[in-house]
Amino acid sequence: MTQRIEQRLPRVFGHELSIEERDRRWALARHEMSTRGIECLIVSGFHSVLWEGQATLRWFTNLDIEGYLLFPRQGRPTLYSFVPAAKVTRLEGCWISDNRSGFPAFGESLVEGLKVLEVDSGTVAVLAVEGIYGEYGGFPYATMNVLMSSLPTVHFADAMSWFAPLRTIKSDEEIRMFEIGAGIAEEMFAAVAETAHEGVLDAEIRAAISAARIRAGCEPHSTSFYAQGKDIGPILDSGIMLEPGYSKPLEMGDIITAELTTRVNGYEIEFNQVWVLGEVDDELERMFAVAKASFEAGVATLRAGITQAELQRAMQAPLDEAGFTWFYPFFHGSGLMDEPPASGVRISNYADGREIERPYAPVTFEENMVLTFEPSVVTKERWGNDPTLPWIPRRGFALGSPVVVTADGCRVLAESWWKPEVIRLT
């Protein structure tokens, strides 16, 4: 095993996940494997879906490396990656001592590894990412085809249904990642306050956000959805992360709405925030108050033992009373990726603009679950007011931060400095 990172080159934030955390995770997985008669797991991970396609592989390896892990019920796991084996073993925080290059024939490498383990019958389960991410970040078909054709007497099964719940309850070390990320987020917010003045370009503010979190030790693929203007819609419509910065100066009366993450050891710590430069109209001021009330209703309601539906009702009530609606989930689970539970997602896939909701399976909250609260407040009037287009609200935003479920309620993980309020720029 490599030296711990503190002994050689500490990260900026100075905290690593321990070998004890590794052993805890591996024991959870192996207990389930024994219960279900699974001889081996094959875990895939790739930098897809805004890096969330890496989540399951990283949970087992503590490495941000694409590839496959052969994880036997007993014995030493083997990682097959694109990276030369010697380099992987030297990486700080590496939990895997047997690292090999699987490139360019990963399927064949995995077949050979299973044969070495003498797994030529029984059940082998595959793992990738689940839910919506499984549609475009799931276990690769080409690899699955090689495995099934090369090992016809092995039964291959999907392990996501039983694996996903293993990571919803966070350990103390995992919660510490969120606390570190929440502290780094304060640096991003300070960068906006220092940079966002009248006449400053969109690109300059976005660059300041990215620079602040990288200097503080975040992984460079921490995400930003950003938009500015007087009448902007929800972030994914008006501030796509992959868009370039614009030569659009900030003007008096503009708002900035952003979804910003800090990524610490892979964990996504997400904030949704609104900044205001100067005076805004009465409708926006009412929307700001409703967003604050929704967040506070969630904090007052969330505790172990209540259901997802109960939490959504509490957070939705201020919007219903004020005559606004929502566009994104009020909350979702958070970890190495966006996790269940999530409230109903209001979207439209129909040309005539019909509105639909896609709720996740019901969940009862437990202590040490981490959620991102992100109540969105949007107008019922559609953008462009054209009923032949998919429904997009005329204007709106989200406001929120991560919280952890406690024995008797919940705790806002940035409570020392963050409040569910709009920030007024000077």
pLDDT averaged over the chain? 87
Question: Comparing C-alpha atoms, which of 385, 363, 397, 1 is closest to residue 169?
Answer: 363
pLDDT at 2 over 50: no
pLDDT-based confidence at residue 8 (cuts at 50, 70, 90): very low
Residue 41, φ and ψ in degrees, nearest 5: -105, 145
333 versus 340: the higher-pLDDT residue is: 333
Q: What is the pLDDT of residues 372-408, one digit of tens each?
A: 999 999 998 877 767 666 667 888 999 999 999 999 9
Name which of 272, 305, 287, 289 is nearest 372 in CA terms: 272
Whether domain 5-167 has CATH 3.40.350.10: the reply is yes
pLDDT in tens, 346-360: 655 555 555 666 666
Name beta bridge partners: 347: 356
Give mean pLDDT, residues 139-147. Answer: 95
**Residue 5 confidence (pLDDT):** 35
Domain ranges of the chain: 5-167, 172-425
Place of tokens 């590894």: 113
Express each pLDDT in 80-127 by its tens digit.
998 766 566 666 678 998 999 888 899 999 999 999 999 999 999 999
β-strand pairing of 396-398 with 370-373 = unpaired
| Topology of the domain comprising 172-425 | Creatine Amidinohydrolase (3.90.230)
CA-CA-CA-CA torsion sign (66, 67, 71, 77) = negative
Instruction: Supply the angle between the helices 308-322 and 282-301 in degrees, to the nearest 10.
Output: 160
Nearest 5 degrees, angle CA 182-CA 48-CA 169? 45
Count, residues in the chain: 426
Q: What is the pTM of this model?
A: 0.90
Q: Which helix (H) or strand (E) holds 274?
A: strand 267-277
CA distance 209 to 303: 33
Q: Residue 135's pLDDT is what?
A: 73
**CB within 8 Å of 377: residues ≥ 6 apart:** 287, 290, 291, 294, 319, 324, 326, 396, 397, 398, 399
Burial letters 51-85, b for 16+ CB under 10 A, else e: bbbbbbbbbbbbbbbbbbbbbbbeeebbbbbebee
User: From CA 335, how far away is CA 69, in angstroms rounded?
Assistant: 20
Sign, CA torsion 347/369/178/96: negative
Indicate left, alpha or beta for 253 from its phi (over 0: left) and psi (-120 to 50: alpha). Answer: left
Residue 155: band (very low, low, confident or very high) from pLDDT cuts 50, 70, 90 = very high
